[in-house]
Amino acid sequence: MRRFVSVALALVMSLCVSVPAFAADSPITAAPAAETVMPPTRLITKVLNQTNTADTVRVTAQPENGNYLRFYYRNDTEYKCTVYLLKVDGSSQTIAGAMSVAGNSQGQAIFFSVNAGSGTYKIRVENTENGGLVSGLTSLAQYHTLSDMEASSAGAVSPDLSGMPDSQLAYMDVYTAPPEAQQAILNARARIIYGNQAWTVNGAVSVFDGETGKVEALPEFSDVFPGWSLFEIRAAASGDPEIIASAIRLTLSGGVSPDYVPPTASGVTRKDNMIDFTEEGRLTTDFAASVPFTELTGNGNTVGIGAITDPCEGARYNLSISSGTAQIGWKPDLKAGQAVTFIAAEGRHYSVRGSVFSQEYEGHYVVQVTEDLNAFK
């Protein structure tokens, strides 16, 4: 009996010693180190089974969980589907990312922007082959870094880009695509941003209508094309994979684009060095091959630029404004008597390119560049 009691006491003492030792180790092993792979924050995991289109619920990402969002879809049907990551702001929805997933396959894409971690999102899956059954598993996860994402999603299948229209290709994830796909994605984005949607950067460019005398503010580029980079799109025009890769690395590192132009403060009206001249330029449907037809150096005042004569009745044209190498605005579908306006910062170089959407509107336009907006009335 004494031997049994002794053994029992020894066992109890050993347990008492080992418990504190285990507890002391726990906080050390749980604390994340710099090289530790952080697990994703799972926002959505949903089985879909509907006809034509299926939406998930809305979820809100938290900034502390990172700015990388990976959306995934496993297609359990034989029909090709398009999967959209939608950013929701009240009653409005914008496409943050998209991918095409073939029947009986799976795909993933990643959306990144500096503010991605503070948005509200949902996933939409459409049967784009025949409008029939949508059936499969979709998920959305949030990551701190690309390394975390790569460690968590190794082996995932990349979507097929072949034959994809610009409306889908442009919304693919450019950051994890192979170099040849990055070029295609950014080229598709270029074709879209110089389409029917007007935009500006930092509120720089507005539109003056001489007929009504009103000034219209243009929507922000970052609002209509969330997660897209003008700097990356311009880099793609070079056709050089190294230049494209460098631009993408700069974005992912959170660096400031060389194209960045801070908001311009209101100018002070000056009577000397007034900007007022006309320029004639031929506009065609090929905007990508266009060159600036007029240039100016700012003097701190508001400048208006618009056609005062056109080649035919009812002609419509488009203008792009650049400040240095940075594009700060695009306004399509202008007519004679309308002008783009902006504060031309003193000493800064500006250039203007133009195009038309229809061959019937090609031809020579006389453009007025002036500080006197009454010239367009």
pLDDT attached to residue 5: 41
Strands (E), 113-225: 120-127, 133-143, 199-200, 206-209, 214-217
pLDDT attached to residue 39: 61
Furthest-apart CA pair in the chain: how many Å? 114
pLDDT attached to residue 191: 92
Contact 209, 216 (CB under 8 A): yes
Is the predicted pLDDT of residue 138 greater than 70, yes or no? yes
Q: Say what percent of the chain tops pLDDT 90.
A: 41
CB neighbourhood size of 305 (10 A): 27
Confidence label for 32 from pLDDT (cuts 50, 70 and 90): very low
Dihedral sign (CA 353, 358, 362, 365): negative
Please tell me which residue, 181 or 206, carries the higher pLDDT value: 206
What's the angle, vertex CA 228, arms to CA 225 and CA 234, rounded to 5?
Answer: 120
Instruction: Identify the helix (H) or strand (E) that includes residue 30.
Output: helix 2-30
Average pLDDT of the segment spanning 204-212: 94
Q: Which residues face 200 on adjacent strands?
A: 220, 329
Rounded distance between C-alpha atoms, residue 107 and residue 97, angstroms: 13
Six token digits for residue 92: 């409005």
Report the mean per-residue pLDDT for the chain.
Answer: 80
Could you tell me which of 367, 350, 348, 372 has the C-alpha nearest to residue 300?
348
pTM for the full predicted model: 0.60
pLDDT per residue as tens digits for the range 38-53: 567 889 988 899 999 9
Angle, helices 179-193 vs 241-252, to 10°: value is 80
Q: Say what percent of the chain tops pLDDT 70.
A: 78
Six token digits for residue 17: 């010693």
Confidence label for 24 from pLDDT (cuts 50, 70 and 90): very low
- Domains of the chain are 41-175 (2.60.120.380), 178-377 (2.60.120.380)
pLDDT per residue as tens digits for the range 267-314: 444 444 557 778 888 899 998 888 898 899 998 899 999 998 889 989
Q: Which residues face 209 on adjacent strands?
A: 214, 338
pLDDT attached to residue 150: 57
User: Residue 304 has what DSSP assignment?
Assistant: E
pLDDT per residue as tens digits for the range 339-374: 999 999 988 999 999 999 999 999 999 999 999 999
Contact 206, 219 (CB under 8 A): no
SS3 41: strand
Contact 116, 100 (CB under 8 A): no
Rounded distance between C-alpha atoms, residue 117 and residue 62, angstroms: 5
pLDDT per residue as tens digits for the range 53-84: 999 999 999 999 888 888 989 899 999 999 99
Contact 159, 107 (CB under 8 A): yes
Burial class (CB in 10 A: 0-12, 13-18, 19+), 22: exposed
pLDDT attached to residue 156: 42
Average pLDDT of the segment spanning 163-191: 80
Contact 313, 363 (CB under 8 A): no
pLDDT attached to residue 68: 86
Place of tokens 């056609």: 307
